[in-house]
Structure 1
Amino acid sequence: MTADPPAGLSAALPDLAADRALLGRTSTAERVAAILRERIAQGSFPPGTRLSEERICGALGVSRNTLREAFRLLTHERLLVHRFNRGTFVRVLTDTDIVDIYRVRRLVECAALRGLGEPPYDVAEVRAAVTAGEKAAADGDWQECSTANIRFHQALAGLAGSARTDEMMRGVLAELRLAFHIMGDLRRFHDPYLTRNQELVQALETGRKGVAEALLAAYLDDSLRQLLEAYP
């Protein structure tokens, strides 16, 4: 299944062209990949969208070789898929993919909380993500609320203090954004979790890591169930 061009690539090209300034004088594949990754996360390129090399090269002002290397990086991150003789597409997750993503999340995020030492804990980044999510919700910006929620979970995993875990979770959570795009009503999906995020960070701020871990485990189970129920 591919996204209708006007709603996918064509509609996103003007914004993509504006991103050329982010590339600077040296257009590296990593920078191009970062721009495309962010656009995918924002929903500019929905799952199933075919990414035209010619049009994206024109919008960003980069060579095909640079773009193909960026595509390769994002394919390795499981955000894109290359189909022989058809091109490169934004990946469409299966329900099996979603279950696996949540299995990894539970292993990493819950373990990060379980491994905390004695309180107090440095949860400033977790608190900042909660505050950002609540502000976005108050502003009615549910796409930004979704982004803040991803930052919240990245910050939870970051409590493990492992650069390797952080890098892995960035990829896992970026892939998860592909699943969020199937939720037609982002407010309905994210609104109940604002309170739960607040409860979780308060448990950490008061040194109750066991309570926080239990809250997180139930949270992840409920979120997974909602996604699977909505998945086509």
Structure 2
Amino acid sequence: MDTVLDGTKLDGMAEHAHTTAWVASVLRNRIAAGELTPGSKLSEQALSTALGVSRNTLRQAFTTLAGESIVRRIPNRGVFVSSPGIEEVREIYRVRRAIEPAAVLWSSPSPETLDAMEAVVQRAQAARDAGSVTDMADANQAFHREVVGLTGSHTLQTLMDRVLAEMRLVFYAMSSAPDFHSHYVDRNVQLVKRLRAGENEKAAQELREYLDAAEAELLGHLQPSLT
């Protein structure tokens, strides 16, 4: 009982929990940015040294990410970045359909917010013109993060960061279909136009159709490779 009530102990516990969350966030962001690829082994020694944290803290961060299906533990082998399969893709899109169209439908974005979204779209267009699949994927990730940002909810943004990390892993499965991102660029352009015109309901409906199409395309690509 005395240990629980000791202020120093509680501060230490809080600091440790904060550090664990920070480490999980760093790894999640690196996966979302494409720096850690599916199947990569995550070295405890290298990461604990690079991040300046204990192995115990790192292991707890791994536990957090394993619960999010972003990494997986293989007994006697270690921790690896996940390679999402069909059911994982379906779950990703269940979450996205619940969040993104609602964010668009109920939002009242400021001109500055719409300018920021348009700047991301312009990045995607430039990447498409340059034939850069990686940059298109980066812009796509950034755009959908902006969409969820319309809610103003930190909780939903944190959830979306998890989803985007998983999406980045899914994108690697589409490496043999380099045009996957290109035909969604124009849909993003249209979405911003709808929001500028105050046509939120149409924007939300088109986004639902967009997500349905993307999920179907991903599943159609993944299923043959898994049979």
5+ residue gaps, structure 1: 1-27
Who is 1:164 aligned against?
155
Partners of 2:32 and 2:164 within 8 A in 1: no
Aligned with residue 219 of structure 1, among 196, 210, 222: 210
For 1:151, the aligned partner's letter is A
CA deviations over 1:149-176 (Å, ceiling 9, x no partner): 0111111122122221111111112111
Aligned length: 206
- Structure 1 residues 118, 43: CA separation in 2 closer, same or farther (over 3 Å shift)? closer
SS in 2 for 1:204: helix
Give the Å deviation of 1:120.
7.4
Who is 2:73 aligned against?
82
- Correspondences of 1:137-148 after superposition (within 5 Å): 137-148=128-139
- Correspondences of 1:46-85 after superposition (within 5 Å): 46-57=37-48, 63-85=54-76
5+ residue gaps, structure 2: 1-18
CA deviations over 1:187-220 (Å, ceiling 9, x no partner): 3101111111111111111111122112111111
For 1:146, the aligned partner's letter is A
- Structure 1 residues 119, 146: CA separation in 2 closer, same or farther (over 3 Å shift)? closer
C-alpha separation in 1, matches of 2:105 and 2:33: 32
C-alpha separation in 2, matches of 1:182 and 1:79: 15
Partners of 1:33 and 1:73 within 8 A in 2: yes
Partners of 2:109 and 2:150 within 8 A in 1: no
Q: % of aligned pairs identical?
A: 39
Who is 1:175 aligned against?
166
Q: Given the two structures, how large is their TM-score scaled by the length of structure 1?
A: 0.77
Q: Which protein is bigger by CA-based radius of gyration?
A: 2
For 1:115, the aligned partner's letter is W
Q: Given the two structures, how large is their TM-score scaled by the length of structure 2?
A: 0.78
C-alpha separation in 2, matches of 1:161 and 1:136: 28
Q: Judge which range, 94-103 or 52-61, deviates more.
A: 52-61
1:106 aligns with 2:97: yes
1:131 aligns with 2:122: yes
Give the Å deviation of 1:30.
4.8
Q: Which has the higher contact order (CA 8 A, sep 6+)?
A: 2
Who is 2:7 aligned against?
none
For 1:230, the aligned partner's letter is H
For 1:158, the aligned partner's letter is G
Partners of 1:110 and 1:213 within 8 A in 2: yes
Q: CA RMSD in A?
A: 2.7
- Structure 1 residues 222, 179: CA separation in 2 closer, same or farther (over 3 Å shift)? same
